[in-house]
Amino acid sequence: MNTRSSGDSNRAARHSSRSSAMSDRLLTTREVAAYLQVSAATLCRLRQTGEGPPVIWVTARTPRYSETQVRAWVSQSSVSAASHSPASSLHLGEAA
């Protein structure tokens, strides 16, 4: 009756939220480096200094990156970098 269908819909909602969380693809260092157009060594250095995108450690030697978090990091870094560029700090008519 209704209790069964509401239970089924609750299970479906829980499954749907788990499925959407699991649909976020995990990327390798090589994939993220290629996306950012940097070397794997540069991405490793960014990871070690805490300047790179958030990392997920699958094992002690296996870093992975959430595709969603990498894209968000790029968007955030782009805005941050634009406000700190040398051109944006110069005023018209002033010598550098």
Q: Which range among 6-10, 50-54, 86-90 has the greatest average pLDDT?
A: 50-54
Q: What pLDDT is recorded for position 6?
A: 53
Q: Which of 88, 87, 52 has its CA nearest to residue 70?
A: 52
Residues ≥6 apart with Cβ < 8 Å to 32: 43, 53, 65, 70
Tell me, what DSSP letter sits at residue 92? Answer: T
Q: Which amino acid is at 2?
A: N
Residues 14-62 pLDDT 10s: 444 444 556 799 999 999 999 999 999 999 999 999 999 999 999 999 9
- Rounded CA separation 38/27 (Å): 15
Q: Output 52 or 5, whichever has higher pLDDT.
A: 52
3-state secondary structure of 45: helix
